[in-house]
Structure 1
């Protein structure tokens, strides 16, 4: 392209030695993460008959090299480290020079000095099997064309990877469109790329993608938290009512009491779980498998176990207090009775109120177990969720009001409970704190793996 050089104000022939010197300087710039532009000109006769590029772009006079840097943001290195920890594999695909791409990738911690960098010219010569293996083991591609980017994305998808592709220029649009999640830049992005994408970064910051992944995991985790809390509570009530009916006993809890528990005393903790702070180590876990279910075996087992323990606790309270106040359990440890008599009416009212208060007490203890799938409850930070603390306190106040305020008694069929009854309730509900979520979920995670 260049046959001469402008040096010290004079146009001189460009010798092979000078050419090698310039290429060495260019390589040095590239190794320091600088993007290099070469500038040249050629005087032309204005009467030249043919302005085709092949005719014009030759015999030029080299003027100089311009080196510039577009440094990565400070937070990119940390974001890449978080990606690696979270099981997300970042890959750089750029049109920059191989040496520039390597320098930038090493600067942000994407690769080491021993890592391989694959260029577009190498991609052109690779068969599909070879290219598939290269894509599995390469984190930096340089001097690539739009077709190469699209080929890389499709190869990753063929490996059953979930691919997110970022881009800003028009040449990124095909790959962005083909990816599972296309991400474009809102500030510098071309219109066609933004239209092809699923997500637009309004700040053009790679670290924002990592933050979005973390928020997505947090939201998904919190959905699972309140699902297992509410399902376990509902299952226990179903077990309890069904069992007592089958035994020929009166309902241990009335319909209005169940409605009050589900709407008032359960509702506030469930809402608080929806905004619970992320569990420690959230971004240190592998991504979920594509197609994995929200209601998986681990969650189902936790719901069944948690609900069954609550059913046992409520059954103990109900039958124990019937025995205490009546002397036996009608139809089980003694004869059937007239439930409208003074003795058994009193016994039933206290037993039902105790079951009502016991269900609430159990669930307000059990809710702390629903905050984690990886740790026992006593190893979690119980003070970092102010919303849940407030919700539990509200539920406690509502329950005490239902039990001790006289105008609530006829509405909910409750009676004031004695200290002895509270002792029975608390002792029966303590197992809620010892259900091991880390063991239950961990067992099914190991089976799935």
Structure 2
């Protein structure tokens, strides 16, 4: 509601209260009606629900049907093997997702546990959950605001609203009504649940509690947000549906045919089960999960903690990064960047504040004829004035370098870097009195034994000054000097600096403590960009990824920071976003890279407009206000150090070092993982295509060449350790490629070409081998079955190296793969030459049999290489086409 546009009296009337507060009885009655002041939500996603969700894909259901059919016809070994695979895959997914969906719990934990209120005309302390609209709360520095409230009284009140609005500095508060159209970040007469009082004291009447607060609206958005499917998830579901339809279609053809031929219902059923097992890559869900988990571990080593496995793969298709400014692109701390003394402006080096680096001063501009000694920060006269400027900033100040208002901390740090011993100076010049800062006064004065020091808004300090401290001492502040100072203030503000004016007067001078001041100079400060951000953004741009800044700060500050770090500085404000219809917004979001004064609803609208335009979006953020967008993004990335628990729990990835460069590294890792996924999906599906073709074509002639248990073993060996080892393949120049299309699946034309070429090659080879080893037999002999079975296993390992070569991976760069292939071959030998062979229906092979298999490989391997070479050549032509 428009509480901010009403007078305090009108607000009290609307919520039926007075500045004396409610009675205990009134509060109890309202509590029974509106409920407790807490964030509530859906708590139904418990461990069991998460575990069952792992079995919701169509691919898993095809496998479950195959297991049931195997058990029904008495092949319990097949059924057990399928069940073990399914259970292992479910456990992997469950472990990764068990701690997800905790956003609402974090929101609740942020609520203040107790609050001071006025009830029955007396001050008392109650649980924050018992607050109701109409309660009058009493706030002071250090308090967490317990509910949304309209200010009745405010004394020097400042509130840190960064977690809600993204505003980088505490916001001064006042009590007067403001325009109804004022955006959330500028509602100076309101305080909001979950924000922090940094200074002053206040009385406020509660207007909204629980889920009706601004934070409650964010919680509601989180509950309603769906986790978008990644391209790989969509592909696997689509693949499973097609496989299911294909298996049913093949079974509908072969089962009646076998029964008509007199093969019997059991053999027809066995054939149907074999087709199902051959068609479905049983190891694919588990291998995908394990490979993503391997990527998760590697990303954790690189300071990116992944909370949901699909996010790793989704990073490979991200083409837009939407990022907050404060604490993400910037340091999250105010630092003095420029100072002015009459008539010289000095830039403060990048380490000039915040206790980082040195405060080397270089002259940016001098309006006089004086020679400037840059190494010492100016001439002797300017040095004296600079020293006084920094001393006023340090003494007229309530902060230390570590604690206090961010602006005052920046002044103390700048003075310390200048060489001022702040603690000693404050002891030398003890404060005898003060006139505190307030939003109405816009200045602060401290009174000492021999002088008065004043800092505040430059225009306010200038109005109370009659002289200015120049190179030759104090001179009258005439109109020309005032205009020059005003122009310098405007120039510094144009650089998005927050500017403060500084003045002093001797205690013996006439007038009150804030009259007849001597104007000393200006300090301009900014929350500066992180050092590594510029190169990280350049790298993401080179990779074809747009970077868009979405911040609660004003347009001028946002534009200046964007220009500094290499982002297009055209700006669209939150109010303008709100005024646009969906169609126009979709056009504008592709054109604009900076969004200022953005509220939570604006962020989600911007995100969804980008997604509607076909973009895969990664959203970074650290505040409560970022949570809905993080939840709705293709990849939500929260800051681990500065980030709130709400943002972390709503995200897919948490940056442990709050370093934007880690986002670049995570995208590189995601693209590498996608390449590795492509390789083993192509490898697995080409194997399954050949298995289906061999089983189906052989069954047409009455031969059950590969029973289900052998097909499962082939898939376990080839889809298991070797396929997983492909996930450890190193990445190439993945950041020199443009992102793949968001709508493009992993099963592209190149993969289909490989599946077709490799599948046809294997089908022809092993049908030929079957015909040769049968030697005219009416049914498949154990020897023929063993030859085809073993040939399939070994041929798949040959093909694995070919598919890696096809994607540009050097053949001998992965020792894990060599170990996996060697181990799998040993397992295959075990089912040939140990008592295990009775479970698999195999017989031992002799030296001559291995020579036959070697001949088959000598014929098939060159064909596979030719298929790979043709695909590589085609891809090279396509990648060269845009630059031609």
TM-score (norm: length of structure 2) = 0.38
Confirm or deny that 1:156 pairs with 2:610: yes
Q: Distance in 1 between matches of 2:785 and 2:488?
A: 88
2:823 maps to 394
1:228 maps to 682
Return the structure number with greater helix share: 1
Q: Distance in 2 between matches of 1:305 and 1:13?
A: 87
Q: CA, structure 1 residues 148+293, in 2 after alignment: closer, same or farther (shift >3 Å)?
A: closer
Q: CA, structure 1 residues 280+97, in 2 after alignment: closer, same or farther (shift >3 Å)?
A: same
Deviation at 1:310, TM superposition (A): 0.9
Return the structure number with greater strand share: 2
Q: 1:308 aligns with which of 755, 760, 763?
A: 760
Contact 1:352/1:414 (<8 A) preserved: no
Q: CA, structure 1 residues 92+124, in 2 after alignment: closer, same or farther (shift >3 Å)?
A: closer
**1:181-228: CA deviations, max 9, x gaps?**
554433224566557656543322222223333333444444443333
**1:48-81: CA deviations, max 9, x gaps?**
xxxxxxxxxxx99966432345543443233223
Instruction: Describe the SS at the equivalent of 1:395.
Output: helix
Confirm or deny that 1:421 pairs with 2:421: no
Instruction: Describe the SS at the equivalent of 2:847.
Output: coil
**1:111-136: CA deviations, max 9, x gaps?**
4xxxx533649958986687665542
Instruction: Describe the SS at the equivalent of 1:90.
Output: strand
Q: Distance in 1 between matches of 2:622 and 2:518?
A: 33
Deviates further, 172-181 or 415-424: 172-181
Deviation at 1:364, TM superposition (A): 0.6
**1:341-392: CA deviations, max 9, x gaps?**
xxxx9xx565444323321221011112444xxx736x43122222212111
Instruction: Describe the SS at the equivalent of 1:210.
Output: helix
Deviates further, 75-84 or 165-174: 165-174
Q: 2:548 aligns with which of 86, 91, 110?
A: 91
Instruction: Describe the SS at the equivalent of 2:524.
Output: strand
Q: Distance in 2 between matches of 1:175 and 1:338?
A: 65
Q: Distance in 2 between matches of 1:199 and 1:408?
A: 45
1:367 maps to 800
**1:237-260: CA deviations, max 9, x gaps?**
232133223234x54445554343
Deviation at 1:432, TM superposition (A): 2.9
Q: Distance in 2 between matches of 1:177 and 1:399?
A: 46
Deviation at 1:167, TM superposition (A): 3.4
Question: Structure 1: any 5+ residue segments left out of the alignment?
Answer: 44-58, 331-336, 340-344
Q: Distance in 1 between matches of 2:699 and 2:481?
A: 99
Contact 1:40/1:60 (<8 A) preserved: no
Q: CA, structure 1 residues 313+196, in 2 after alignment: closer, same or farther (shift >3 Å)?
A: closer
The number of residues matched between the two structures is 400
Where do 1:7-18 residues align within 5 Å?
7-8=468-469, 15=479, 17-18=481-482
Q: Distance in 1 between matches of 2:686 and 2:751?
A: 10
1:317 maps to 769
Where do 1:3-402 residues align within 5 Å?
3-5=463-465, 7-8=468-469, 15=479, 17-24=481-488, 27=491, 31=495, 35-39=497-501, 64-68=521-525, 70-94=527-551, 101=558, 104-111=561-568, 117-118=570-571, 120=573, 123=576, 133-141=587-595, 144-146=597-599, 150=603, 152-153=606-607, 155-157=609-611, 159-169=613-623, 181-190=635-644, 199-248=653-702, 250-253=703-706, 257-264=710-717, 266-278=719-731, 280-281=733-734, 284-290=737-743, 292-295=744-747, 299-300=751-752, 302-322=754-774, 326=775, 330=776, 351-371=784-804, 376=806, 379-400=808-829, 402=831
**1:85-122: CA deviations, max 9, x gaps?**
333210234566767655544443334xxxx5336499
Q: Distance in 1 between matches of 2:671 and 2:682?
A: 17
Q: CA, structure 1 residues 22+386, in 2 after alignment: closer, same or farther (shift >3 Å)?
A: farther
1:56 maps to none
Q: Distance in 2 between matches of 1:278 and 1:429?
A: 29
**1:1-55: CA deviations, max 9, x gaps?**
4324463397965736534445436636865xx7433246899xxxxxxxxxxxx
Contact 2:636/2:653 (<8 A) preserved: yes
Instruction: Describe the SS at the equivalent of 2:755.
Output: helix
Q: CA, structure 1 residues 70+389, in 2 after alignment: closer, same or farther (shift >3 Å)?
A: farther
1:439 maps to 871
Q: Distance in 1 between matches of 2:476 and 2:870?
A: 76
Q: CA, structure 1 residues 155+60, in 2 after alignment: closer, same or farther (shift >3 Å)?
A: farther
Deviates further, 175-184 or 351-360: 175-184
Q: Distance in 1 between matches of 2:530 and 2:869?
A: 40
Q: Distance in 2 between matches of 1:154 and 1:260?
A: 45
Q: CA, structure 1 residues 60+376, in 2 after alignment: closer, same or farther (shift >3 Å)?
A: farther
Q: Distance in 2 between matches of 1:176 and 1:387?
A: 36
Q: Distance in 2 between matches of 1:417 and 1:269?
A: 26
Q: Distance in 2 between matches of 1:244 and 1:178?
A: 50
Q: Distance in 2 between matches of 1:15 and 1:127?
A: 45
Deviation at 1:84, TM superposition (A): 1.9
Q: CA, structure 1 residues 189+19, in 2 after alignment: closer, same or farther (shift >3 Å)?
A: farther
Q: Distance in 2 between matches of 1:92 and 1:275?
A: 34
Question: Structure 2: any 5+ residue segments left out of the alignment?
Answer: 1-458, 506-515, 879-884
TM-score (norm: length of structure 1) = 0.69
Q: CA, structure 1 residues 161+400, in 2 after alignment: closer, same or farther (shift >3 Å)?
A: closer
Contact 1:29/1:36 (<8 A) preserved: yes
Q: CA, structure 1 residues 308+183, in 2 after alignment: closer, same or farther (shift >3 Å)?
A: same
Instruction: Describe the SS at the equivalent of 1:241.
Output: helix
**1:257-308: CA deviations, max 9, x gaps?**
4343233355221222344333542662324324x54555654554344222
Deviation at 1:312, TM superposition (A): 0.8
Contact 2:753/2:871 (<8 A) preserved: no
Contact 1:166/1:183 (<8 A) preserved: yes
Q: Distance in 1 between matches of 2:565 and 2:820?
A: 44
